[in-house]
Structure 1
Amino acid sequence: MEALASTVQRDPTAYPYQFQDDPYLSPRTSVEFKLFSLSQESGRAAAKYFVNSNPKLFTKDFAEPHIPCLMPESVALRLEEVSQEALEERISLRKVSAAVEMYDQLLQSGTAVSMETTHKLLDLICLYCDRDPVQEGTPQTEDREEEEEDRRRKPMGRRAMDFLKCTWKENNNAERIFNLLPERDARCYSALIRGMVKHGAYAKAFNLYEDLLNNRLSGEDQDTQRAGSSALLILDEYLLRSRIELLNQMNEQKVRPNLLTFNSVLKALRQCSFLAKTFSPQILNEMKALGIAPSLATYEHILTVFFYKSGSNMAILQDVLMELEGTSFTCQDPNDGEPRCLDNKDLELGYKVHSLVEVGENWRLLGDSYQQALYYGRFFNLLCLMEHIDVVLKWYSRIVPSVSAPPSGCNLLQALDTDSRLDLLPTIWKDIKSLGHDNKVDLVEELLCLMARDEHSAEVQESFAACALDVKSVFGERPKKEWSTSSLSHISILLLRANKLQKAWDMLQLFKDKNRVPSGALLSSFLTACRCSASPQRAVELVQLSAAFSLPTTPELAKRTLAEFELNDKQR
């Protein structure tokens, strides 16, 4: 499949593949991208819930070849007798309460449980915080509803330590089973430490990690080291030097830290103010000394410390991009898929970042479709501000709509105005209309204003008039959309310049219907058009319309009409 894919190029006129199931529902804006992706995920979760909740209704398998992962999961318990096999079955089905109950029954019957099974049980209890996991689509329990309500009530903008709620219960089943063990190895400590860190008991996690070291256990499990460092790093920013001592302890015990260990340290250093700028380069040098290649998350943490905080240290960003040039990345850290878009006015930097995106499959690390649309939108806005219009249009044809919806702002229109390419506005309007931006009143009014500002050749004026009529028809289909006086005036002027007098006269009627007051300059343009078409009656009606609106230009219009037209006695 990869070989076949390499023989073709991306079609710039087609939507991304994941949005081609139903053309009617294809998203056209970044917000619709996000809604579409969330709807897809919600649908998958709902389908999975119904399949797994009613496995007896899905026993037929017509797939060839057979695909086990698409078949309903077995959620019913088959083994009822007290045995280690029954315990492992409950662990595999993630039945936390049932697994704990079976473990207690085995201990009461005097049956020994293997250390490997005990490790799995501790992992299960710590992962779900001693509660049965809530299946997707089922109602929330009271405890979870209370947690959600507390989270919503917390004020925004506070530090993470202020609103992270500890859900780890004192002396829960994980701690009880851990204390009952005659022998505890590093794997048992690892399970509890990771569970405590995951559920907010950071102080307990670090105390348990110190207990692991005091018992002279090697702590060879890399997840133990990562959990221990996470527990330490979250405590308080003034314990920074103690955090560095954690790495020294790992060195003394000859435990080799991995990429995730260093990334967790760097992530925590982001909260440590100016001290982070001192220690983060040391961490990066230590990684290189150990031969550990940084991931995207590593550089993102470094940039956060040196760039986002100050907003002016562009040299760091230049150095990072120079080091990453031509590098193809794979996702090694959960934070690798959480990109951040920078707003800057450096075109060269923008091209360097985009060239990195186009290496291999680095574009996958931009995130979901919403994040990709956000990135391409900002990149295109930078081009509109800094690049020549021919280059902008070249990128426009590559990006829209194959990888992103068009930007909804006016940067593209301003770029066309700057380079005197307003003749392309009708083409841009077709994209605006087809891709769902015609409901943005500010954007449409900016388009009409640019077309009506200056006079152009007859051919261009004809295309502008056709575009204006199309805008009028779109607004006419939406009765809730209120016409502004400026929009009516711009459309009228465009129709007059294209010698479409009858259609322009219909616009004056629309002024009256919408209770809008035309300007004296617009009525003067209408009078000039009436003279060119030798229409004295319409000139008189124009004066009457101006008088009906009590415009101060009425005497001047009447004087011009008397002087420029041959009127009968009644018209006079």
Structure 2
Amino acid sequence: MNISSVYLKSFITRSCGQRISACLFTTDVKENIEIPKRIHRGPTDILRALESTVKRDYTAAHYKYHDDPYLIPMSNLGKRTFAMAQEAGRKAAYWVRQENADLFQHQEADPMIKSFAPKIMYNESSEVTIQDLNEVIEKSYVFDAVTIYKLLKSKNVDVPAVAMQQLLELLCFYNHEEPLLEDFIEERWFKQSFKGKERQRKTWKDGDLAEEIFISFDNPNEEAYSAIIQGMAKYGQVDRSWQLFEEALSKNLLLSVDAYNSIIGVANFLKEAYDLRWTFVLDMLSMMAQAKVKPNLRTLNNVLKTLSTMGTSKIVKENALKTLAEFRAMNIEPSLASWYYILITFCKERGPVSPILKNIMNELEGKDLQIKDEKDTFFFVTAMDICHHHLHDLELANRVNNLLNLHNNYDLIGDSYKESIYYRHYITLLCKTETLEEFMQNTYLKLVPHIYVPEPSVMLEILKCVEANDAVEYIPRLWSDVIIFDHVNRENLINLVLNILVSSENAESATLAERFSTIAWDIWNKIENQNENKINKISFTGEMLGKIMTLLLKNDDFEKACIVMDKLQNDQTTVLGVSSFEALELFVNHCVKEKLPSKAISCIQYAVDSGFEDAANLAVTLNTSLTLDETHLSKLSVIVGPDVFK
């Protein structure tokens, strides 16, 4: 083989390799790079993302409380007082800033943070413009808007019709009241509790600025009529709102859907009879159809609200379901408020049992719920009430609770009052249906006290369950909670705790006897050392003192038992009833053990005064167990008679 052939062969090999490499690393596919649209991120989105990865810590108190076990409030009253005290501090700081606005003119932030700047104060000498009026209306400063409007009118400044309409809507929405600032979270949280208990009544301010503005319009348009109708209906001026509604229709004005909704929402005030009420609602819906006013979710909820006030008849329930179907056909999906009205329509207190909540849960389970109506916050507390009292269904209650704790659904619990009622129903139902061990480990120790503080009625149910199961090992924890939750002024709780401790068959161990004795003496001190000026004072009863003495004697706390016995004997006029004979017998036996016949004779005297027929047997026991001198024998003879010793 010559050199030329070798060179040619190597050249061919090298060329083929290069071509193969080129084929391997070359492609004709063209990739289209699409840049995704920018997603707007809020200032707290990263924090929310991090928060979603952390589960709720049931052992930790709410972040608004100091992280100190000695400062964290445990009772409902303590939690409310603590939170409102903090809020009072914020309001005081807000007041100082407003009253001394000239001292807070420095601006450290750039650009300026308007929320940190003092609020502009307006008075009779202020120079104001239409722009100022528009700004305070936008910020919902009701009092400032009224002040600026009156200043403009006093200076004969023409206020544009648009600004007049916006001011009218502001006044109608808030009824001339200044809304609570968004910064005062705690006040709003606790204030709603009282608002929910109030029945709707007339609070509309007749003849105030809203009506003056409405009258000042030469020819009020549909927007003005809609605003005044909604305001009057919202705040109980029902008859006048209906008159204005009819007046607007007579002028062929096209009212807003919210105006129609407001009138439907007060149908139960306009019509008393159920059939007339439903006919009225149907007429209103027909008017909306003729005027080509498209209904919305509020329309659905107000129709269902009216139906919920119309008794328990079958036709009412059928109409409620038909209403849901009709609105769903218009692509209007129900909110939690809709389901709330369905629940109170089907599950009346004295009506037949309805399983409709199960169907509702099938609709809602697994969803991330959003608030769409102010009554949405009534759903969970009502659903749990129905699980407890109407259906007695533990499985369904757990489904409701799981839905509440899913995603951000807990925001829909409402306020402090609804939250407390919700857990009252839930825990009471679990206490009645689960085994005591499961209930204490999985529910009570998890939720109490940082999530929920049981009311006295709930503690009573738990103690009854403990009594039924003779599970006295839970009493020390429960009694500690009774003290922490400030329930020690409840006589029924104290009597039940004492009864459980005395009648328990599992309290023979020395450890339990010592702990029970501590609880008994704690009860003694709580009642004995009550404030003299306290209104609802607990008074000792003979039965209560007898049980306390029994528990003390079982732990050989004879000195403390003597104090209780002295109370029984010396305060018979103030102590209601008498001690049990068993407690007196146990005391006499310990007197024999301690060789104190004088104490035993005093106890026998009390037994005779209390009318116990077996008191003589105590004297015999004392005489046979101890060697008594003549003084002791003569006292016993006087108490029980000389024939006893023959």
TM over 0.5: yes
Cα distance, 1:503–1:323 mapped onto 2, change above 3 Å: same
Question: Given the superposition, is the C-alpha separation of residues 476 and 233 from structure 1 closer, same or farther in structure 2, using an over 3 Å criterion?
Answer: closer
CA deviation after TM superposition for structure 1 residue 403, in Å: 0.7
- 2:365 pairs with one of 321, 325, 333: 325
Q: Which moves more between the two structures, 85-94 or 375-384? A: 85-94
Match of 1:315 among 355, 360, 365: 355
- Paired residue type of 1:503: K
Rg comparison, structure with higher value: 2
> Distance in 2 between the 1:168 and 1:430 partners?
54
Q: Secondary structure at the match of 1:3?
A: helix
Among residues 169, 175, 186, which one is paired with 2:214 in the alignment? 175
- Cα distance in 2 between the residues matched to 1:64 and 1:427: 55
1: CA distance between counterparts of 2:401 and 2:478?
24
Secondary structure of 2:270 counterpart:
coil
1:196 aligns with 2:253: no
Task: Report the counterpart of residue 541 of structure 1 in structure 2.
Answer: 599
User: What residue identity is the alignment partner of 1:12?
Assistant: Y
Distance 1:82 1:47 in 2: 27
Q: How does 1:48-87 map to 2 (within 5 A)?
A: 48=94, 51-52=97-98, 55-56=101-102, 58-60=104-106, 67-76=113-122, 84-85=130-131
1:361 aligns with 2:408: yes
Q: Please report how far the alpha carbon of residue 43 of structure 1 lies from its aligned counterpart in structure 2 after TM superposition.
A: 6.1
Q: Secondary structure in 2 aligned to 1:95?
A: helix
2:482 equivalent in structure 1: 432
| C-alpha deviation, 1:84, in angstroms | 4.3
Task: Work out the CA distance in 2 between the residues paired with 1:326 and 1:267.
Answer: 26
Q: Deviations over 1:406-461 (max 9, x none)?
A: 34231111112222311221222222223322332321221111111144332332
What SS is found at the alignment partner of 1:304? helix
Select the residue among 296, 302, 327 that pairs with 1:258.
296
1:506 maps to which residue?
563
Q: 1:116 to 1:55 in 2, by over 3 A?
A: same
Does the CA-based 8 Å contact 2:221-2:253 persist in structure 1?
Answer: yes
Residues 238-257 of structure 1 correspond to what in structure 2 (within 5 A)? 238-257=276-295
Distance 1:465 1:44, change over 3 A: same
Check if 1:453 corresponds to 2:491.
no
Structure 1 residues 70 and 449, CA gap change in structure 2 (3 angstroms): farther
Aligned residues of 2:547 and 2:583 also touching (Cα < 8 A): no
Q: Paired residue for 1:235, among 270, 275, 290?
A: 270
Counterpart CA distance in 1 for 2:484 and 2:109 is 39
Q: Is the 8 A contact 1:426 1:463 kept in 2?
A: yes
- SS at the partner of 2:456? coil
Contact 1:197 1:231 in 2 (8 A): yes
* Pairing 1:120–2:166 present: yes
Corresponding residue of 1:9 = 55
After TM superposition, the structure 1 stretch with the greater mean CA deviation from structure 2, 520-529 or 292-301, is 520-529
2:591/2:600 contact within 8 Å kept? no
SS, match of residue 17 in structure 1: coil
Q: CA RMSD in A?
A: 3.7
Q: Secondary structure of the residue that 1:314 maps to in structure 2?
A: coil
Tell me whether 1:403 sits opposite 2:446 in the alignment.
Answer: no
C-alpha distance in structure 2 between counterparts of 1:83 and 1:430, whole Å: 63
CA contact (8 A) 1:389 1:415 kept: yes
1:58 Cα deviation after fit: 4.2
Q: Which letter does structure 1 place at the counterpart of 2:122?
A: A
Matched residues in 2 for 1:392 and 1:476: separation?
34
1:416 aligns with 2:480: no
Partners of 1:543 and 1:557 within 8 A in 2:
no
| SS of aligned partner of 2:486 | coil
SS of structure 2 residue aligned to 1:308: coil
Q: Which residue of 1 aligns with 2:222?
A: 186
Is the alpha carbon distance of 1:21 and 1:500 closer, same or farther for their aligned partners in structure 2, counting shifts above 3 Å? Answer: closer
Name the residue aligned to 2:398: 351
Q: Aligned-pair distance for 1:199?
A: 4.3
Structure having greater relative contact order (Cα 8 Å, sep ≥ 6): 1
Write the distance in 2 (CA, Å) between the matches of 1:74 and 1:377. 46
> Partner amino acid for 1:509?
D
Provide closer, same or farther for how the CA distance between residues 372 and 278 of structure 1 changes in structure 2, counting only shifts above 3 A.
same
Change (3 A) 1:540 1:23: closer
Q: Partner amino acid for 1:558?
A: A
SS of 2:292's equivalent in the other structure is: coil
Q: TM-score, normalised by structure 1?
A: 0.81
Q: 2:470, 2:504 within 8 Å by CA — same for their partners in 1?
A: no
AA of the residue aligned to 1:442: N
Residue 332 of structure 1, CA deviation: 1.1
Amino acid at match of 2:394: L
2:325 is paired with a residue whose SS is helix
- Residue 258 of structure 2 corresponds to 223
Quick one: distance in 2 between partners of 1:281 and 1:228? 22
Cα pair 1:83 1:106 within 8 Å, conserved? no
> Which residue identity lines up with residue 408 of structure 1 in the other structure?
P
In structure 2, the CA distance between the partners of 1:370 and 1:561, relative to structure 1 (3 Å rule), is same
Moved more, 302-311 or 54-63: 54-63
Partner of 2:550: 493
- The corresponding residue for 1:140 is none
Alpha-carbon distance in structure 1 between the residues aligned to 2:419 and 2:165: 40
Report the CA distance between 1:507 and its aligned residue.
2.8
Instruction: Sort the Cα spacing of 1:244 and 1:50 in 2 relative to 1 into closer, same or farther, 3 A.
Output: farther
> What SS does the aligned partner of 1:379 have?
helix
Describe the superposition over 1:29-54 as per-residue Cα deviations: whole angstroms up to 9, x where unpaired: 44555566666666656655564455
Total equivalences in the alignment: 538
Q: What is the DSSP-based 3-state SS (H/G/I as helix, E as strand, rest coil) of the residue aligned with 2:355?
A: helix
Question: Residue in 2 aligned with 1:145?
Answer: none
CA distance in 1, matches of 2:508, 2:129: 90
Q: Work out whether residues 79 and 86 of structure 1, in 8 Å CA contact, stay in contact via their aligned partners in 2.
A: no
Distance in 2, Cα, partners of 1:40 & 1:247: 48
Range with greater deviation from structure 2 (35-44 or 509-518): 35-44
Secondary structure of the residue aligned to 1:293 is coil
Unaligned runs of 5+ residues in structure 1 are 138-156
Per-residue deviation at 1:81?
A: 7.2
- Indicate whether 1:205 and 2:241 are aligned: yes
Classify 1:471/1:250 alpha carbon distance in 2 versus 1 (closer, same or farther; 3 Å): same
Distance in 2 between the 1:117 and 1:225 partners?
24
**How far, CA to CA, are the matches of 2:493 and 2:110 in structure 1?**
52
Taking structure 2 as the reference length, what is the TM-score of the superposition? 0.73
Q: 1:90 to 1:502 in 2, by over 3 A?
A: closer
Give the deviation of 1:563 after TM superposition: 1.6
Q: Is contact 2:607-2:615 (8 Å) kept? A: no
Alpha-carbon shift at residue 404 of structure 1 (Å): 0.7
**Corresponding residue for 1:293?**
333
CA change 1:466–1:294 in 2 (3 A) is same
